[in-house]
Amino acid sequence: MLKLADGIDALNRTVAHVLRWFALAMVLIQFSIVISRYVFGFNSIWMQESVLYLHATLFMLAAGYTLLVDKHVRVDIFYAKAPPARRRQIDIAGHLFLLLPSMAALAWWSWPSVRNSWKILEGPISVGGIEAVFLLKSLIPLFCLLVALQSLAILLRLFAGKDAA
């Protein structure tokens, strides 16, 4: 079971290593947009939307990695001062009763929109934009999958008596 958890960790690490380049691409494209607009008087909806697509992809698909490295937002009312055994109980309950059900609900409720978007190959958000809204919407179930898989990996370690990650 720990090998499965290690494999899930490796998947989210690989996704994060690829996505880190998206941040650089966003900065370079945004810089190009500013230069082209204010120096050359040229504006491109496609370039502006590409920043949006990169931003959405970066944040949606890196969420599993954020969970892996324990850098997600946590409300530390009870957790911060709790002993390790209590923290383990809080983590298990949080994953089983909050995180996994919310990922399942989000995937379930978003799926019709994603499916319909793929059926019609939904076009650009704005005229002259990227003709791939269906790909943007596909980030939602991928987000759910990567976060749920990472939650499973953490649970496997918690049940095995190991620290998460």
Residue 47 banded pLDDT, cuts 50, 70, 90: very high
Sign of the torsion formed by the C-alpha atoms of 76, 68, 160 and 95: positive
> What pTM was estimated for this model as a whole?
0.91
- pLDDT for 164: 54
Furthest CA-CA distance within the chain:
62
Q: Measured in whole angstroms, how far is the alpha carbon of residue 136 from the centre of its chain?
A: 12
Coil vs helix vs strand at 31: helix
- Could you give the CA distance from residue 134 to residue 96 in angstroms, rounded to a whole number? 30
Residue 99 banded pLDDT, cuts 50, 70, 90: very high
